[in-house]
Amino acid sequence: MFKLPPETIPTLWGAAGGAIALAIVGFTWGGWTTRGNAELQTMRSVDAAVIKVLAPICADRFRQTANATANLAEMTKMQSWDQGRFVAKGGWATMPGAKEPGEGVAEACARLLETPKT
């Protein structure tokens, strides 16, 4: 059986402790991330970018309907969590070729519609 010299054991413990400390510091303050967390952050960024592009299109589609003023008045009377459902149900957040609106698009569209267009 292989036996380590007694003077190397403190060195190995120091190396193990240093590796653990380095990992803790790296993941906590060093900006390191796991692959899963990086993929999650990427997907969130992609979703936010898609919503940012599609919400103004939805708002323009809403404003171009014949009864846009009445729909906007009806929507603004609703609670904020119902406004997105109203926009989704009206079909303005469903882009051509899609069966249903993208997640978050209707809510972002409703927020844009509440803001006066400049």
pLDDT at 12 over 80: yes
For 21, 79, 84, 103, the CA distances from 60, given in Å and listed in that order, are 54, 22, 15, 18
Residue with token string 């692959």: 35
Q: Domain map of the chain by residue range?
A: 41-114
Of 46 and 6, which is predicted with more confidence?
46
Q: How confident is the model at residue 118 (pLDDT cuts 50, 70, 90)?
A: low
Sign of the CA dihedral running 98, 103, 105, 111: positive
pTM summary value: 0.71
46-75 tens-digit pLDDT:
999 999 999 999 999 999 999 999 999 999
